[in-house]
Amino acid sequence: MKSSFSFLFLALSCFVLSQEIPKNGKSISSFVPDNWKIIEQAEGDLNKDKKNDFVLIIEETNPENISRNDGLGSPEINLNPRWLLILLNTDKGFELKEINKTFIPTEDDIESTCLADPLMDGGIEIKNGVLMVSLHYWLSCGSWYTGSNTYTFRFQKNEFELIGFDSEEFHRASGEMTSASINFSTQKMSITTGGNMFGEDGDGNEIKSEEKTEWKTFKINKLQNLKTLKTPLEWEFMGYFI
C-alpha cells in the first residue's frame, strides 16, 4: 500500500513538473514543456532595448483532450489548452516576463462546435513596440455574423498593459458592418455603424451606405494587463456590447 502511494505521488509530481515553464532559458524551445508545441510566434522589441523579444502561443498535444463530435461542425473537438508566453531577450538568454494560461481560446469550443479556430485568421504580432493579439470569430452554422477582436498591449510600469481594443463585425449575407475602437490610454472610444463590407450587391449595383461614427470619452482608474485579463469575453463598455 505504501509502495503504491509512493508511485502515485511520484507520477503526479513528474506530471506537475512537466508542465512548469522555466523563468530563464537559452532558446525559445527551452520554454516549451514536453508534449506541447509552438503554434504561433512573433518577434520584435517590446521593451525598447533594441533586442528582439519573442511572444509564443503554445498548445498541449494531449490526445485525451481531443474528442469525437457527431453533431454539426468539426468532426473532432480539440480542447487542448493554449498558453501565451512573453520572452524578453537579455544578455544571458531569454527571461519569461509574462505567461497567461487562460486568455487564448482553445482550437474548438464544446458549447459552439461550429466555431472555427479563433487563431485561424487571427494571431499575434509585434508592431511599433506593442503586442497585438487578434481573435477571429466565424461559425459554419448557427450565425451569419463574422467578427474580429484585436487587443493591444504595451510594456509599461513593468506590466503588459492593455492600451487598445478594436472590434469589427459584419453580416455575411447583407454585408452590414459595425466597428468599435477603444483607446484606454487617451480614454476615448468610437463606434461606427452603417457601413457595408461588400460595396455592391449580387447584381453589381453599388450599395448605398451611410457610415456614422460616434465618439465618447470615459474614465478608468487603472489599465488592465495580461495578469488581470482572464478570458477574451465580449465587452460591455459605455452601454455598448463590443
- 129-152 per-position pLDDT tens digit: 999 999 999 888 888 888 999 999
> 156 with 221, same domain?
yes
Please check whether residue 162 lies inside any domain of the structure.
Answer: yes
Residues 6+ away with beta carbon under 8 Å from 72: 113, 114, 140, 141, 142
Condensed to tens digits (0 to 9), the pLDDT of residues 80-95 reads: 999 999 999 999 999 9
**Coil, strand or helix at 154:** strand
CB 53 within 8 A of CB 88: yes
Same domain, 234 and 172: yes
pLDDT score at 11: 45
Bridge partners of 60, per DSSP, are 36
pTM of the model: 0.86
Q: What is the mean pLDDT of residues 188-215?
A: 77
- Give start and end residues of each alpha helix (H) in 150-200: none
Q: Are residue 72 and residue 156 in the same domain, yes or no?
A: no
Whether 90 and 176 share a structural domain? no
Residue % of the chain over a pLDDT of 90: 62
- 84 lies in the same domain as 162: no
Q: Which of 62, 96, 112 is the last residue of a domain?
A: 112
The answer to whether residue 81 sits within a structural domain is yes
Strands 76-78 and 212-217: unpaired
Please say whether the dihedral angle defined by the alpha carbons of residues 56, 233, 151 and 145, taken in this order, is positive or negative: positive
Give the pLDDT score at 5.
40
Cα separation, 79 vs 109, whole angstroms? 7
Report the number of distinct structural domains present in the chain. Answer: 2
Please report whether residue 157 resides in a domain: yes
Residue 160's domain comprises 144-242
Q: What is the pLDDT of residues 19-68, one digit of tens each?
A: 689 999 999 999 999 999 999 999 999 999 999 999 999 999 999 999 99
Q: Are residues 160 and 75 part of one domain? A: no
Structure letter (DSSP) for residue 63 = G
Same domain? For 162 and 87 the reply is: no
Asked whether the predicted pLDDT for residue 10 surpasses 70, the reply is no
